Structure formats: structure tokens, C-alpha cells
Amino acid sequence: MSLRTLAIVGAAVLAMLGPAMLAAQSVGSYNAVTEQRLLNPEPQNWLMYRGNYSGWGYSPLDRITPGNVKKLAPVWSFSTGVTEGHQAPPIVNDGVMFITTPQQQVIALKAKSGDLIWRYKKELPEDLLQLHPTNRGVALWEDRVYVATVDAHLIALDAKTGAVVWDTTVDNYKNGYYFTLAPLVAKGKVMVGTSGGELGIRGYVAAFDARDGKPVWKTHTIPGPGEPGHESWQGEAWKTGGVSVWLTAHYDPQLNLTFWGTGNAAPWPGDMHPGDNLYSSSVIALDADTGRIRGHHQYHWNDSWDWDEVSTPLLIDFKKDGRLVKGLVHPGRNGYLWRLERRADGIRFVDAKPFVTQEVFTKIDPVSGRPSYDPERKPRSGAAVTFCPGLWGGKDWTPAGYNPKTNYLYIPANENLCSTLVGQAGPYEPGKLFLGIDRPKTTMSWRQGASHIGELQAWDMATGQRVWTHKFPYQNWGPILTTGGGLVFLGGTNDRNFRAFDAKTGTPLWEYKTNSGITGVPSSFAVDGVQYVAVQSGWGVDAQRMQARLDTFLGTKTDVPQGGVVWVFALRD
């Protein structure tokens, strides 16, 4: 066969294959994600970061139960082709799954079969610094898919094709601004908060018109001159004071308030930014229409421990002293479980108690919730200060879950870890690390006599008491999924396992060893009446950083393989 003939035959084969390939990549019909659907997500779908606006990480699906979960097995998997932290949940809308990966891919898959529909890859600048090489997922609205990027863009994609509908440059990545969170969509707006607290940014939340990406409002998490709270900063510290927003807000449609967790003040030691430093290490309530700050609660003032209160409180209603409280529940990085009341006129403190050993707070004011500190446990310039929990706290970004059937809150915690920091001031330079510490002298240790680190805890919201704890030998970085079938799912450990527990008793029931360590947010969905559980496995970012610190401390060398894979499980027949 001549080359020319070969080429003609090849072209004919491609022409035949072409339509089939196109058909395999076609989404077919796509069910637009309306405001109403976001307010009341169907049980078979997982339409946003934590499944609902209340941030529960809860699926009402109940086909998979403690009685049959042993039959759970993988039905398909998909390699993303990248390494580092795969933290995004598989978000599912009527049979179409969307995931994001580090290095800014968005991938659409058929949720039942795992077939690829489309893949979007953003070309990233070659000089980008990625302190947190991850992305925490998409937001859906109408026939659009929204992603906030590590080079500070907000992008809308066509849900059917992956084509870019609009691309808004929100900020200049060269100055340390970037996004890791999944956007929040509410009332036709796409809202994002900025990362970059280690790079001396001034944090903010911003909203854009979901139709065209035009800016609507922007609210700084550090008040500027003349704004309430500005007096809680001294001098110029507010300009580079950090207070990042790392995770998606939760939303109360009745109050029209979005609730955002905020990061620590920068640089780390508090004597480098005297004052309470509002609104660092807080929850702030922003009006969804205007961005106006309608309330706040600062969990701890003048942070000195790198305790970002990065997680968003869950919207859980609970009884306290016979009264039903419309609550905000937050297991904090500072190691306390905070219960607050969300109201039209602000946020009120209800109660707080430690969920891990906490040696910094000496008391909590019973009315305001303001903690007092042991000054010897507060890092400062020129002194080596050891504190527990350490800088990754009692729980870092990994979201807790809430199951309305058990009325339990599930916390992925780390116990017994401590850090030592030595404060050392350094100059601010845009886009450079701005930590204020003598880095080589930073160490991690664990409390004398400690038998374990990782924990999965269940807290009864009716009583405010812990009801069970499962312990893991090493760290737990597992976001929580809990289901109407009475299960809790999480990965998070360095042995690559994905696990299921009895939600009521904490009994471990099932585990499966995946390709890598799991720090992905799990989700559950159904297609054609079959319940699936999905998660991305792909170790990296802070789980890997903590592993490196532990290895240094323990004299070990732990190799947790990297590389992202989407896993989807269902019951075997």
C-alpha cells in the first residue's frame, strides 16, 4: 500500500470514527440548574460544594446502609493525569459529573459510565507560584459551570461543551492573590474569596454577575480606614494583614446572608500586627445582594498560631436551654467546637468547648465567647514558643459533616500535635512569603504519651456532647460525607484507604485501598435509581506537608504516592 493510499484509508477510518467519538463526548440533554433547584437540591444530585447551602455534606440517599456497605465496590475510575491535592467533590447534575483538579482542569464525565464528555485545561502562567496546588471544585448555575483559578481568574464554562463563556481576571497573581475554593452561586451572583494569607495579601470576598462576569460587589475582610473594625489594626498592618478566604460560604436564603470563614492575620506572630485584627479568624455574614457585613464573630483575636478559621460554619438548628437556636456550628482550627446563633441583626455566641487538647486558651467569656490566652503559649518575636494544637490546628480545611437523621456533627480531627515557632520579622515584598518566623526553627512534635493523631468524632447536636470517637494512628485529612443510609465516608489517612463508618455508633464497616491518599471531598448521587459514592484520590498540599513534618520528627520516610483518580463506588449485585 502506497503512502498516499494509506493516507486516504486513514482519513476514511477517521471519518467513520469521528461521529462516534463525538457522540461519546456529547452530553445530550442538560438540566439547567435553577435558583429553585439550588435551594432544594434533589436527593439524586450533588449540585454544590457541600451538597446544600447549609454546608452539611449530607446526601439523603439511603440505598447503601450499614447492613450492605460491605458490598460496596468500584464501578469506574478516571485518571486526571496530574499530581498534588485533588480536593474537589464530584459535583453531579442529573447524570453529568464535574470535577476540578490541581493545575486548573475542569472535567465533565458521564456519572454512570465514567465516559469523558469534555475536559477544560487552563493554560497557567509559567511564573506562577503555587503554595496550595489544588482546586476545591465548581459551582453550577443554569447551563454554566464556574471555576475560580489559581492564577486569580473566575471563569464560566458551557456545561455542555466546556467552552469558555466568560473569563474575568479578578486579581494579579503576581501579588500573591489566588483562588482555591469552589465558588458560591446564589441569587444570580458568583461569589469567591481570595487565598494568599502567607503572601501578605489583604483578603476579600467578591461577587460577579453570573451571566457575564461583571463585578457586582467586593468586601474586604480587613476593614479600611473609616470602616468599623479598622481601629482593631495599628499603623499600616492592615494593608498586608492576610485574612484569606479559603472555602465556599454557606448561605441562609431566609436571612439572605452568606457566611464565610476567614483566615489568620499576617504575618503569623501577633506582636507584628497588634490589636484584635478584625475580621481575622472569624465568621462574617455578608448580605448576598450588597456584600455588606451584617454580623461577625471572631473566634480568637490577634492570631499568632496560623489558626485560619478556614472552614465555614455549618447551618444547623439546635436546642439550647429549651430554645430552638438557628445555629452556626464550627469545629475550629483553634481546637474548639463553636456554636453560634445566626440572626438578621448579627451573630451571637452560644457556647464553645474543646474537641482536642487545647493548651492556649485559659477561659472563654460566657457571654461574648472571647477567649483569654496563656501568654507563654502565644508565639512572638525572638522566642521559641510551643503550643498545642499545632499550626494545622484541631481541624484544618477539611469540612465537617452533619446528618439530620442522627443529629450528629462529624469532625475530622487531629489530636496530640504541637508546633514550635520562633517569631522573626521580615520585610513585605509582593508575592513573597510573609510569615514572620525563623522558618528553619519551626518544628512539629506530639504530646508526651500520645497514642494516636487522627480522629473521626461524632457530636450530638441535641446535647452538645461528644458521642463517639474513632482513632487513626496518623493524621486525618478526610473531608466528611454522611448519608441518609446512616453512614459516614471519609479518606484522609496516609494508607490510601477510603472508609465507611456506622453514623450512629462509629463502627468501621468498610474500606478500600485507592491509588493515593484521599483528601478529596466525597459526594453521593444516583442515576437510574442506583446510589453511587464518589471521591477523588490524590494526596498533596497540607496533608503532604504535615507528613513531611511528621517524618522529620519521627525519623521516618513515608512515601504516599501521588496522582489523581476519580473513584465511583456502588453496591455489587
Partner 1 sequence: MRDSPGGPAPVAWPGRRTVLTLALGVGVGLPLARLGGAQDSSARGARPQPNDRFVLAAGERKGRLITLADLPSGGAPLTAYPKDATSGVVRDDSRLNQILLVRLDPRALDRDTSARAVDGIVAYSAVCTHTGCDAWDWQPASSTVKCPCHFSEFDLKASARVLNGPASRRLPALPVKVADGLPVVAGAFIGRPGFESGGG
Binders in 541-570 for partner 1, by CB under 8 A: 544-545, 548-549, 562
169 near partner 1 (CB under 8 A): yes
Pick between residue 151 and residue 276 the one whose CB is nearest to partner 1. 151
11 near partner 1 (CB under 8 A): no
Q: Please answer whether residues 522 and 531 qualify as being in contact, where contact means their C-beta atoms are separated by less than 8 angstroms.
A: no
Residues in contact with partner 1, counted by CB under 8 A, come to a total of: 58
115 near partner 1 (CB under 8 A): no
Let me know if 209 is a catalytic residue: no
Q: Please answer whether residues 331 and 409 qualify as being in contact, where contact means their C-beta atoms are separated by less than 8 angstroms.
A: yes
213 near partner 1 (CB under 8 A): yes
The only residue of 37, 63, 121, 471 in contact with partner 1, by rule CB under 8 A: 121
225 near partner 1 (CB under 8 A): no
Give the type of residue at 272: M
The residue range among 141-149, 162-170, 322-330, 461-469 that interacts with partner 1, by the rule CB under 8 A, is 162-170
**How many residues comprise the chain?**
573
The only residue of 165, 433, 467, 530 in contact with partner 1, by rule CB under 8 A: 433
CA distance linking residue 100 with residue 536, whole number of Å: 10
The only residue of 70, 71, 239, 292 in contact with partner 1, by rule CB under 8 A: 292
CA distance linking residue 156 with residue 136, whole number of Å: 16
In 3D, which of 110, 117, 66 has the Cα closest to residue 92? 110
CA distance linking residue 333 with residue 312, whole number of Å: 11
Pick between residue 428 and residue 512 the one whose CB is nearest to partner 1. 428
The only residue of 25, 65, 68, 124 in contact with partner 1, by rule CB under 8 A: 124
- Residue burial 417-440, b: 16+ Cβ < 10 Å; e: rest: bbbbbbbbeeebeebebbbbbeee
217 near partner 1 (CB under 8 A): yes
Pick between residue 319 and residue 553 the one whose CB is nearest to partner 1. 553
Pick between residue 127 and residue 345 the one whose CB is nearest to partner 1. 127
The only residue of 47, 82, 185, 255 in contact with partner 1, by rule CB under 8 A: 82
175 near partner 1 (CB under 8 A): yes
Least distance to partner 1 from the beta carbon of 29, Å? 27
The residue range among 13-21, 123-131, 321-329, 416-424 that interacts with partner 1, by the rule CB under 8 A, is 123-131
Pick between residue 64 and residue 154 the one whose CB is nearest to partner 1. 154
Contacts of 361 (CB under 8 A, 6+ apart): 300, 334, 336, 354, 371, 372, 373, 374
In 3D, which of 378, 349, 131, 386 has the Cα closest to residue 273? 378
Selecting among 306, 308, 396, 502, the annotated active-site residue is: 306
414 near partner 1 (CB under 8 A): no
179 near partner 1 (CB under 8 A): no
In 3D, which of 560, 559, 568, 558 has the Cα closest to residue 534? 568
Instruction: Phi first, then psi: give them for residue 436, nearest 5 degrees.
Output: 70, 25
Q: Please answer whether residues 534 and 522 qualify as being in contact, where contact means their C-beta atoms are separated by less than 8 angstroms.
A: yes
Half-sphere exposure of 371 (CA within 13 A, CB side): 27
CA distance linking residue 336 with residue 333, whole number of Å: 7
209 near partner 1 (CB under 8 A): yes
Least distance to partner 1 from the beta carbon of 361, Å? 28
CA distance linking residue 86 with residue 566, whole number of Å: 9
Half-sphere exposure of 180 (CA within 13 A, CB side): 20
Pick between residue 95 and residue 102 the one whose CB is nearest to partner 1. 102
Instruction: Phi first, then psi: give them for residue 2, nearest 5 degrees.
Output: -70, 165
Annotated catalytic residues are 306
User: Which stretches of the chain bind partner 1, using CB under 8 A?
Assistant: 80-84, 101-103, 105, 119, 121, 123-131, 133, 151-152, 168-175, 206, 209, 212-219, 289-292, 427, 429, 431-433, 439-440, 540, 544-545, 548-549, 562
